[in-house]
Structure 1
Amino acid sequence: MTLYLSIVEHNLLSAPVLFFCLGFGASVLGASIALPGGVSKMIAIYLMLAIGFKGGAAFVTDAISTEVLLCLFAGVVLSGAMPFAAFRLLGFLSPLGTADRAAIAAHYGSISIVTFTAATDALTRLGLDFSASMAAVAAAMEAPAIVSAVYLLQRTGSGCQSHGKQTQGKQASRSVMQEVFFNVTIVVLLGAFAIGAVTGKDGLSDVSGFLVDPFRGVLCLFLLDLGAVAGQGLRNGWRSLNPPLILFAAGMPVLGAVAAFLSATAFGLSQGNAALLMTLAASASYIAAPAAMRMAAPEARPEIYLTMALGVTFPLNLLIGLPLYISAAGLLAL
């Protein structure tokens, strides 16, 4: 309990989290402080580029470990399997149609790179070691959940297959797969990881003034903006959420974290890597999944899946989840 309270204090009193709270609270109260879309996208790309590059530089220096490979395996399996559990659970909790359930399932199987970034920042401040190559695990967990959601849509005859002839459905499916595997998160993360691996420590030293020193300050700015977006989404979309959906948005991350904890226990992961795997499994996508679901399930309602992922799950993970996951991962070191 003492460790948990210490982590909570460190997390809640950190500048990035406080900036998120500022943006979220101000937006809920009616203030408009969100950054222009182009600026926000540029900052998001910067964060992914920095994470990927540093991970690649660490990879070529330390060599990828068996532990990271186990994390990669567990992460891909969890990402692919969780949408099926989410889809079934939503069927019990709400009368939502297939398209809405599949779209929500895709978001809760895929991952939030910003939640992952906040977790790495928290671990760094706490002095807990983790592998920088976990950035590759984060990138690998983006796509499997979306592929599973597309399968659920096609199996039930919903989504892109229901909007035209079979040929049109196949073309739409190819577009979705292209969006899945070539979305900005995967391309930038893996591309920067590869460049970091090629250039190594010398390359990282050359760009440290851009990618290392300003990182936390840029993260503060991005979380201020994301807090504003989340608060605005909750302010405008709360009418679309009923208690069962809010319960799902709060409970599904716990299920993902428990599944990741069991995997970490079975594989004997270190506290830092276990905490990151739990964070990834507990997070919900609001970048890659929305883009793919707009094409795969155009009839699904963004006011539901985006409000759940960004307005409910993301704040809960940032304020409550991260200390919980790090504390739980600490049990592996006992």
Structure 2
Amino acid sequence: MNYNLLIENLTNPALLFFVLGVLAVYLKSDLEIPPNSSKFISLYLLFAIGFKGGQELSHEPFTSEIGWSMLFGVFISLVIPIYTFFILKRKLNVNDAGAIAAAYGSVSAVTFVTAVSYLESQQLSLHGHMVAIMALMESPAIIIGLILISIFNKDKSNKIQKRSVMKHSFTNGSVLLILGSLIIGYVANAKQAEGIKPFTNDLFKGFLAIFLLDMGISSGKKLKAFFSFGWFPIIFSIVIPIFNGCVIAMMSSIVTPDITNRFMFAILGASASYIAVPAAMKISVPQANPGLFLPMALAVTFPVNITIGMPAYFLIVMNT
């Protein structure tokens, strides 16, 4: 095993800022990122990755490999919530099981962005069509999660507002911004894109570090209450993402031989949504406990992926 990859990731400034945020909470520091600034930074990251992806996509001819990759991405986001729901239902109620299954079937845009930074540290570049695949994978898992809750929920008085949820799953801010930025980046020519390159490229890693500091602070605040749910959610939110990422890293060779694409598929399969899914569940399944699925995705799975997961998935795609 190449331990240099693991050490390099563990000493990545972005990750260390995340750790600093968690540490600040435990030291009872008053360190915080203002909510408006945090929202702006998250919007900036989605905009930058979408625009850069669109620029890359404009130089890529549409091939059968890209078509199969898109279908593979949707397949992942449909299968993961189904099998995880039945694991979760053994220990949790139907509403919580469905919400968590949807979160783990959907994707984390911030984990995706961090993975792009990881690729760059390995002197590799993201292919633009992976941004489109990430956007495609947001909604199917939400829909499957809601279908499973509808089927297995014995309390028929809690009816899910399917139309509003379907609309939200396709128009929530993160999906709309990244798709919109992707399209704008695709239609902009190289000269036009050069004009905003300092904003989309040069500032990216600095903003990512500050955003991960904010994520660390948020995670640290949620961990205390999360531990009261026992060991099952903790074990699930560590084991399942690593399992998903490793299996998908190997399976992805069926649809693409490209190392960067396979690595990003592993990240997408291993990540869990803590933005789009919680927002959708708040509308449709208010009975689901956000104090359970939010810390699982944000405070456990996210740091596991950016510390252990990324080097592991990268090693798998390099050696299979």
**TM-score of the superposed pair, with normalisation by structure 2:** 0.95
Q: Any gaps of 5 or more consecutive residues in structure 1?
A: 164-168
Structure 2 residue corresponding to 1:298, chosen from 286, 307, 316: 286
Corresponding position: 1:307 with 2:303: no
Residues 241 and 270, structure 2, Cα contact 8 Å, conserved in 1: yes
Residues 34 and 226, structure 1, Cα contact 8 Å, conserved in 2: no
Shift of 1:268: 3.8
Report the equivalent of 1:55: 53
**Amino acid aligned to 2:89:** G
Shift of 1:325: 0.9
Corresponding position: 1:234 with 2:223: yes
Distance 1:36 1:237 in 2: 24
Shift of 1:65: 4.2
Corresponding position: 1:252 with 2:234: no
Report the equivalent of 2:171: 182
Q: Any gaps of 5 or more consecutive residues in structure 2?
A: none
**Amino acid aligned to 2:206:** G
Report the equivalent of 2:262: 274
**Amino acid aligned to 1:113:** A
**Amino acid aligned to 1:70:** W
Residues 74 and 263, structure 1, Cα contact 8 Å, conserved in 2: no
Residues 28 and 235, structure 1, Cα contact 8 Å, conserved in 2: no
**Amino acid aligned to 2:294:** L
Structure 2 residue corresponding to 1:123, chosen from 95, 114, 119: 119
Matches within 5 A, 1:189-204: 189-204=178-193
Matches within 5 A, 1:25-104: 25-92=23-90, 94=91, 96-104=92-100
- Cα 1:105–1:237 shift into 2, 3 Å: same
Q: Secondary structure at the residue paired with 2:257?
A: coil
Distance 2:52 2:189 in 1: 9
Shift of 1:252: 1.1
Corresponding position: 1:218 with 2:179: no
Q: Deviations over 1:38-70 (max 9, x none)?
A: 211111110000000011111112334443333
Distance 1:158 1:181 in 2: 28
CA RMSD of aligned residues (A): 1.6
Q: Deviations over 1:278-319 (max 9, x none)?
A: 001000000000000112211111111111111111111111
**Amino acid aligned to 2:70:** L
Report the equivalent of 2:110: 114
Report the equivalent of 1:166: none
Distance 1:106 1:162 in 2: 22
Distance 1:317 1:86 in 2: 18
Distance 2:154 2:79 in 1: 20
Corresponding position: 1:162 with 2:160: no
Report the equivalent of 1:19: 17
**Amino acid aligned to 1:235:** K
Residues 50 and 181, structure 2, Cα contact 8 Å, conserved in 1: yes
Q: How many residues align?
A: 320
Structure 1 residue corresponding to 2:275, chosen from 287, 293, 300: 287
Shift of 1:158: 6.0
Q: Deviations over 1:244-268 (max 9, x none)?
A: 2111111110232134124312224
Percentage identity across aligned positions? Answer: 35
Distance 1:324 1:6 in 2: 12
Distance 1:80 1:200 in 2: 35
**Amino acid aligned to 2:202:** D
Distance 1:8 1:66 in 2: 34
Shift of 1:34: 2.9
Structure 2 residue corresponding to 1:148, chosen from 133, 144, 150: 144
Residues 116 and 125, structure 2, Cα contact 8 Å, conserved in 1: no
Distance 2:303 2:154 in 1: 31
Residues 246 and 316, structure 2, Cα contact 8 Å, conserved in 1: no
Q: Secondary structure at the residue paired with 2:175?
A: helix
